[in-house]
Structure 1
Amino acid sequence: MTAPESAADTRPPMGGLAPIVVAALANAGVLVWLLLHDPAEVTYGYFGGPIALAAGAYACFRVIRKPGLARPVRTFWLRMELAALSLGLTAVIALARANNNTGMSIWVAVPMMTGVALLMTAFLGLPGRPRTAVGWLRGALDTVTIAVASGLIFWYAVFDLAPAGTSLADKVVAAVVGVGGVLLLVVVGKAAAAPESVVHPGALRVLMTGPITCVTGTILLIAGDDRSRLALSVLALPLTGAAVCVGAHLQSRALTRPAAISFPARSVFNLLPFVAVVATAGLVISVSAQDMSARQRIVIIGAFLITGCVVARQLLSLRENTLALRGIRRQQDELERLALSDNLTGLPNRTRFLVALGERLDAGQPAAAVLIDVDDFKMINDTIGPAAGDQLLFQVSQRLRERCTSGEMPARLGGDEFAVLLPDGDPVAAETAANRLLLALADPFKVGEQQLLLHASAGIAIADTGEGADEVLRNADIAMYAAKESGKASFVRFEPRMRDDMINHATLAGELRNGIARGELRLLYQPVFDLVTGRLHGCEALVRWQHPIRGFVSPGEFIPVAERSGLIVPLGAWVLREACEQMARWRDQYGDGAVEAVNVNVAVRQLRSSGFVDEVAAVLSETGLTSRNVILEVTESSVVDGWQVQETLQGLHDMGVRLALDDFGTGQSSLSLLRAFPVDVLKLDKSFVDGIADGADRGRLAVAAAVAQLAEHLQLKAVAEGIENREQLERLRDMGYRYGQGFFMAKPLPAADCGALMAADPVRAA
């Protein structure tokens, strides 16, 4: 998702303002009526309440219908809708009893208290820190303290101002409603004072209008004059309805941001129990002082002073606890930052990434993961050194951070592996984002005095229903490896078949491990001929696998599995030993008629091993061969893998082992490579041999001729691979190629058949 699109999505449709307009008109109508009303007719003043609260219930209903809404948010606004309907019923009853309304009637109080209870349930149901038994007890004590104190204040202070003739029932009902309003004010206030919540904080603060008007209205209904009592009677419920409309509108605008749950910090509302104690003590003194003697009043005053000291002592303890908790929270925040962020780059780490992804999935919100891996970073790191490599990774993280749009979260998973969380499940948008992120890494990086050009591979995984964060990230990892296998510097979107392929590869890797141990592998030998004399010159050892159940398994199928799983190392060791042992048997059997050397392919993982040179020396010694009896074939990509490979190749060269550059022309071929690499043989890749017979492909002809001339000038042996017809053989021979191999001369043969060629056409002695 691009930034403009994201911004556009956060704007609600114009229809979302309709409830606010209706509620505002209802309140305006009530205000106009208060200025112009007929004192003998008050019914019209009560019409605003049902209209505004109906608009509030509809606004809540619109929020509930929003797609992708988190469950706690949906539950909160559902309870707010029920509360608005209950208060709307209160407004309808008040309208019906408008001309008889002399106080707080039981008919009005019951639905009003039901609405207050629903409001309180909605706010108490918001997620927060899990409470212990002690926490629940503390909350219950605070509730009782505030309820008793506010009840006493209503009974002894507010009711003293009530007009003569107010019935006891009206006083009790008013006290119950007033106390409920005070408790609701505390609950709503603490929720609104929280730094963050799953519900929009602005909406919570606006909703404080409800309990404030409830408490104020109850007081004025009992103790106010006729004008103020009438004003609050007709305005309290319309104001509450308008507050609900505005709160629902603010929530609708905030639905595109990720839901964040935070635990409330201490606020001024935590002081209300102490305020209640002080107010009650003062009330006791003022009431008792009217009918008591001086000595009794002194005792009461002393009790008040003691209460004040206890309250002051508790306030000091509260302050100390608050300061201590702030310090603990700062430490917790720092520990959380260290635990959830990467030390080198400052980006979120794997744990934080999985938590954020899991939160979106649990909330039913769309998400996608882009996993980015820097191609060939090990080689770069070995070349420039670890310190410079760290600087490079930091610059990569900065590029990703800068190119991420609103709502996207970059993270470093470890090493040279990064990930970006996308708040969108659209495949096209995810591919656009992946392309944008890879392009961000395409410009050169400056590390010290060096300019480095990087490229990276990326895997995209769209979160599907029922998937967990680990599974989504694993799918992105599978897709990233598919991108690397397809040529690197690209991105691939995950498809379910890739997981099946991965499982098949893992299964095949297990069977291959067992096949090596059980001796299911065998070697075939493809002869290499002298194109001038037609005689046998050498042979290349090729591994084959005859599976007891699968049958013949193609090398193109199991060699990539061996390389990915690491089995290429024991497999390569087996091939080297088996080929050398066969070479020793040929020399014993045919003497000078045997080929001088056998070619063995070596994987890059073998060359990375510091003990590979010693391994080759040990095999040659145990089989009785010399370094001239084996030629190791390596690919161009393995030659430039890093300093470890360079040291291994130089060690083999110093030992006298000849080295062949296989598939020459398909990789990073250059003159500097040939100068740095101790090469003895160049093997022209089959792709340049195909089609050169008819001369139609002038590009292939030019490359093939250039390789032959290059080998001649550098005094290297040139071998053409994949010769399939006489025309190709003759054209290559005319170009200057002395040696070649291919199906036209001979297919890969068992050791006995290859030995028969040596016996039938002995190699001329050097």
Structure 2
Amino acid sequence: MTGPVGPAARRAGTGLAPLLLAAAATVAVAVWLAVREPHAVALGYVGGPVAMAGAAWSLQRIGAMVMLPRVMRAFWRQLGHAAIILVLSSSTALALANNNAGMSLYVAVPMLTGMFWTMSAFLRLPMTDRAPLSWLRVVLDGATVAVAAGLVFWYVVLSSAPPGTDLATRATAATVGVAGVLCLVVIGKAGGRADGPIDPVALRLLTAAPIVAVALAVLLIAGNDFSRLLISVGGSPLVALSFTSAAYRQRRVLNRTGAEPAPRAPRRSRTELVPFLAVGGTGVLVTYVSVHEMTSRQRTLIFASVVIAVLVAARVLLGLRDNRRMLTGLRDQQAELARLAMTDPLTELANRTRFVAVLTERLAAHKPATVLLIDIDDFKMVNDTMGPALGDQLLYQVAQRLRENGAAKELPARLGGDEFAVLLDVEEVTSAEEAATRILQALAEPFRVGEHQLLAHASLGVAIAGPGDSADEVLRNADIAMYAAKEGGKAAWTRFEPRMRQDVVNHARLGSELHNAIIRHELFLLYQPVFDIVTGRLHGAEALVRWKHPTRGFVSPGDFIPVAERSGLIVPLGSWVLREACEQLARWHRDHGDGAIKAINVNVAVRQLRESGFVDEVAAVLSETGLMPQNLVLEVTESSVADGRQVRETLHALHEMGVRLALDDFGTGSSSLSLLRAFPVDVLKLDKSFVDGITEGADRGRLAVAAAVAQLAEYLQLSAVAEGIESESQLIRLREMGYRLGQGFFMSKPLPAEEAGALMATPAPVVA
């Protein structure tokens, strides 16, 4: 059954007015039958055309909804055409109400036309798969039923009709009866499909129409005067009531705004028994006729044939029963395999395959769709520090939060790892952003995992599907927005904007050019001097990478370093910087002897620290350049130290080797003090933001942090370096706080190797 179609369906209304009209007409006919006047027969026929006109209008309204699938529109539209034809038939019956000449051809012809047009509407529905053998079974079943019904009506209606029944009445009754039985078979075949386009309840309501037709066929011949009058005046209102009830039910289904309907399980169809019932009915008829109209020898032959037919039919039915059991088992296995193929085994949410399939279906049907892509921040640290088993428990609880805090119309899924997604059937920006906020708030609450209370903040990307977007494009847009949220500070959501895609393209292009720049030696190093701010003498230098592009000119590190980190080029880039800086320090030692700085500072990215061979690489570079481990200071950020077990093991191995470690941008993170207990730090570098706040009239909070860092370093016997000194007043204030080392533009900007070497050749203090 087709799912909700959104606003387009809601604008079509519910179809309640035609249903009430048909019901009122039916009740009016019943009242008329109870108090009828012989001279006012025409009043009983008024309800037919009125109710049928309402049914035609209701059916045509559904058939005109352009957002519906084509097969559904065609079915309801053709059923509406049949209702229009039946309006003509019932109107003619009203006009000829006082004529007691039996069934008039003026009434019979449009009635039969409407019946066959109704049957052709049902034949439009998919009743089986496309295999020729399946269609052959449908045709054979229909032919069996048609022949059997034709024999019954031929014998009972045409041959055994009461004297005086005109030919038109008998022919109409027989044709309508056979057509009604065939309609029931076709409706049963169509309703047995699990993926049928029409609501199954609506189909069951429509079965009232062929049942009325069969009753009409029987009562016109075998009934008394009252029963014939009853079916003549009540038949059309009852058929109209069947049509309007089905239309009302279908509209109610289309107007639902909930989630996508669950697939219907294949219903056990009873229509496969209809051909055998037809054979049995024919056998009964043949037996009855043979008893009354044949000789003893002929009756014996007929009885034997009927017995053989019954035995064969019983054998086939037993085979069908066994086949049904086998097919039921296969269907159950297939359903379970389909469920497993579409479900994430850990969280029991939909997996990527199902999520993409549902998203693709929505986009193909031009339905609104919004994707929320969710990535758990720093999940790798939890997995590395507490183990994968506890990490899996956390993922399961995240899935439960998504399921519990989602609306019925939302589809949560786990796409893989710690990446989740939620599919919304909205296209309004406000609704999408409200859902993103709701989900982040739900995930912000602590998780109880085993004996631990864990916080699992998430970054979320919002992507609203646009015209012509594919499922891959929407997911890619959500992924871009999610990474933008991470770059913006994590634990937040970001809505995708088209410019973001261009940024990604630019980053990709810049990444390709950076790869070539490493190969073509377009990169070079500058050295930011570190001074003893008490004596004014040069103490050390920090290596800073720069890029001179052949066409772009100088590219800012703020542009290409994030590209390098995202693309993985930070590893070869960092390796080049490490080797180049160590080689330069070795040259300074050869050129300036004791006047050269003792150590060089090199920034190291977390991606480098995750490399299993990084410690060996550092040892090899020191050995090849002739430096000692204490000649190298590796600067790492707080986020790098907290990355996980692999990074911590690498840092401890470097420290045991003798390499000094500096904690860069100290004071900006939320866990700085706790890191000092686990991290083998040698140097604390006070972030520039605190240096900016130590002058007169500045933020007292920053001033307090700057002073506290100096005291903490002294207490722990660590070196403290103040970054970003840009004025003499800052320099003086830092001296008073107890800082011994500092760097910044006030003392010197980053210098080429030659100019930095010239400072080493100067014995006098550089800074007053």
* TM, length-normalised to structure 2: 0.94
1:206 equivalent to 2:208? Answer no
| Counterpart-to-counterpart distance in 2, 1:324 and 1:460 | 47
Q: 1:15 to 1:322 in 2, by over 3 A?
A: closer
CA 1:444–1:760 in structure 2 vs 1: closer, same or farther (change >3 Å)? same
Verify: 1:398 aligned to 2:397, yes or no.
no
Q: Which residue of 1 aligns with 2:24?
A: 25
Kept after mapping to 1: 8 A contact 2:63/2:75: no
Structure 1 residue 108 corresponds to structure 2 residue 110: no
Deviations 1:373-422 (A, max 9, x none): 11101100111111111111111111111111122121111111111111
| Structure 2 partner of 1:484 | 486
- For the pair 1:43 / 2:45, whether they are aligned, the reply is no
C-alpha separation between the residues in 2 aligned to 1:720 and 1:35?
103
- Give the distance between the partners of 1:346 and 1:506, measured in 2 at CA: 36
> Secondary structure in 2 aligned to 1:98?
coil
Tell me the equivalent position of 1:350.
352
2:335 is aligned with 1:333:
yes
Partner of 1:141: 140
Query: Residue 459 of structure 1: SS of its match in structure 2?
Result: strand
Contact 2:666/2:672 (<8 A) preserved: no
CA distance in 2, matches of 1:561, 1:554: 11
Task: Indicate the residue corresponding to 1:755 in structure 2.
Answer: 757
Question: 1:637, 1:668 within 8 Å by CA — same for their partners in 2?
Answer: no
* Greater displacement, 698-707 / 360-369: 360-369
1:184 matches 2:183:
yes
In structure 1, distance between residues paired with 2:562 and 2:127: 51
296-305 vs 112-121, which moves further: 112-121
Q: What's the CA shift for 1:65?
A: 5.9
> Which residue identity is paired with 1:360?
R
Shift, 1:142, TM fit: 0.8
Partner of 1:674: 676
Q: Which moved more, 1:644-653 or 1:158-167?
A: 158-167
The residue aligned with 1:3 is none
Match of 1:155 in 2: 154
Aligned equivalents of 1:541, 1:558: Cα separation in 2: 16
2: distance between equivalents of 1:254 and 1:110? 35
Q: How does 1:459-608 map to 2 (within 5 A)?
A: 459-608=461-610
Q: Corresponding residue for 2:456? A: 454
Q: Which moved more, 1:73-82 or 1:330-339?
A: 73-82
Which of 731, 740, 743 is residue 741 of structure 1 equivalent to?
743
2:128/2:134 contact within 8 Å kept:
no
* 8 Å Cα contact 1:197/1:261 also seen in 2: no
For 1:471 and 1:102, how far apart are their aligned partners in 2?
70
Change (3 A) 1:118 1:418: farther
SS of alignment partner, residue 107 of structure 2: helix
Quote the Cα distance in structure 2 between the aligned partners of 1:432 and 1:461: 13
Secondary structure, counterpart of 1:412 in structure 2: strand
Q: Structure 2 CA distance, aligned partners of 1:17 and 1:53?
A: 15
Q: RMSD across aligned C-alpha pairs, in angstroms?
A: 2.4
Matches within 5 A, 1:620-699: 620-699=622-701
Deviations 1:16-57 (A, max 9, x none): 422122111111111122222233442222211111122112
The SS at the match of 2:526 is: strand
Partner Cα separation in structure 1 for residue 498 and residue 723 of structure 2: 38
Alignment of 1:200-239 (within 5 A): 200-239=199-238
- 1:593–1:759 Cα contact (<8 Å) kept: yes
CA deviations on 1:437-479 (whole Å, 9 max, x unpaired) are: 2222222212221111221111111122222222222221111
Q: Which whole-Å CA distance do the structure 2 matches of 1:56 and 1:660 have between them?
A: 82
**SS of residue paired to 2:444:** coil
Instruction: State whether residues 539 and 599 of structure 1, in contact with CA within 8 Å, keep that contact through their aligned partners in structure 2.
Output: yes
SS at match of 2:668: coil
Q: Distance in 2 between matches of 1:127 and 1:359?
A: 19
* In 1, Cα distance between equivalents of 2:736 and 2:667: 20
Identical-residue share of aligned pairs (%): 62
Deviations 1:53-86 (A, max 9, x none): 2211222344456685444443333233223222
Amino acid at match of 1:138: R
Counterpart of 1:87?
Answer: 86
Counterpart position of 1:369: 371
Post-superposition Cα deviations, 1:482-527, rounded to whole Å, max 9, x if no partner, equal 1111111111111111122122212221221122122221111111
Aligned to 2:534, what secondary structure does the other structure show?
coil
Instruction: Measure the CA separation in 2 of the matches of 1:120 and 1:763.
Output: 104
Do 1:705 and 1:735's aligned partners in 2 also have CA atoms closer than 8 Å? yes
Provide the residue aligned with 2:390 in structure 1: 388
Change over 3 Å in CA distance of 1:536–1:118 after alignment to 2 = farther
Aligned to 1:717: 719
The 3-state SS of whatever aligns with 2:46 is helix
Question: Helix, strand or coil for the counterpart of 1:454?
Answer: coil
Deviates more, 1:348-357 or 1:128-137: 128-137
* Structure 1 residue 10 displacement after superposition: 11
Q: Name the CA shift for 1:367/1:14 in 2 (closer, same or farther; >3 Å).
A: closer
Q: Could you tell me how far 1:601 is from its partner in structure 2?
A: 0.5
Q: Deviations over 1:266-304 (max 9, x none)?
A: 321211011111111222222233332101110000000
In structure 2, the residue corresponding to 1:541 is in which secondary structure?
Answer: strand
- In the TM superposition, residue 127 of structure 1 has moved relative to its aligned partner by 5.0
Aligned-pair distance for 1:168? 3.7
Question: Contact 1:129–1:263 (CA<8 Å) still a contact in 2?
Answer: no
Give, in whole Å, the separation in 2 of the partners of 1:537 and 1:220. Answer: 113
Matched letter for residue 661 of structure 1: L
Q: How does 1:407-426 map to 2 (within 5 A)?
A: 407-426=409-428
CA contact (8 A) 1:528 1:739 kept: yes
- Please tell me whether the aligned partners of residues 68 and 365 of structure 1 are also in contact (alpha carbons under 8 angstroms): no
State how far apart, in whole Å, the 2-side matches of 1:95 and 1:150 are. Answer: 30
Indicate conservation of the 8 Å contact 2:457/2:491, yes or no: yes
Report the Cα distance in structure 1 between the residues aligned to 2:120 and 2:360, rounded to whole angstroms.
28
- Structure 2 Cα separation of the partners of residues 394 and 441 of structure 1: 12
Change (3 A) 1:108 1:549: farther
Q: Which letter maps to 1:279? A: G
> In 2 relative to 1, CA 376–242 (structure 1 residues): closer, same or farther, beyond 3 Å?
same
2:142–2:185 Cα contact (<8 Å) kept: no
In the alignment, residue 705 of structure 1 is paired with which amino acid? Answer: A
Shift of 1:332: 0.1
Q: Which moved more, 1:265-274 or 1:609-618?
A: 265-274
What SS is found at the alignment partner of 2:293? coil
Once the 2 structures are TM-superposed, how far is the Cα of residue 110 of structure 1 from its aligned partner? Answer: 3.7
Stretch deviating more after TM superposition (590-599 or 306-315): 590-599
Q: Indicate if the aligned counterparts of 1:660 and 1:679 stay in contact, CA closer than 8 A.
A: yes
Aligned CA distance change for structure 1 residues 482 and 192 (closer, same or farther; 3 Å)? same
Listed one character per residue, the Cα deviations across residues 328-360 of structure 1 (whole Å, up to 9, x for unaligned) are: 001001100110101111111111111122222
1:280 aligns with 2:282: yes
TM-score, normalised to structure 1's length? 0.95
- Residue 618 (structure 2) aligned to one of 604, 616, 619: 616
**Alpha-carbon separation, structure 1, partners of 2:136 and 2:64:** 37
| Helix, strand or coil at the partner of 1:395 | helix
Aligned pair in 2 of structure 1 residues 85, 232: CA closer, same or farther (>3 Å)? Answer: same
SS at match of 1:100: coil
Answer yes or no: is the 8 Å Cα contact 1:120–1:188 preserved in 2.
no
The answer (yes or no) to whether the contact 1:684–1:718 under 8 Å persists in 2 is yes
The within-5 A match list for 1:695-706 is: 695-706=697-708
Structure 1, unpaired ranges of 5+: 1-5
* Residues 683-736 of structure 1, C-alpha deviations (whole Å, 9 max, x = no match): 111111124222322111111111111111111111111111211111112211
Counterpart of 1:145, as a letter, is T
Contact 1:127 1:261 in 2 (8 A): no
- How many residues matched? 759
The alignment partner of 1:42 has SS state of: helix
Given that residues 158 and 171 in structure 2 are in contact (C-alpha distance below 8 angstroms), is that contact kept between their aligned partners in structure 1?
Answer: no
Number of the residue aligned with 1:313: 315
- CA gap of 1:81–1:263, structure 2 versus 1, over 3 A, is farther
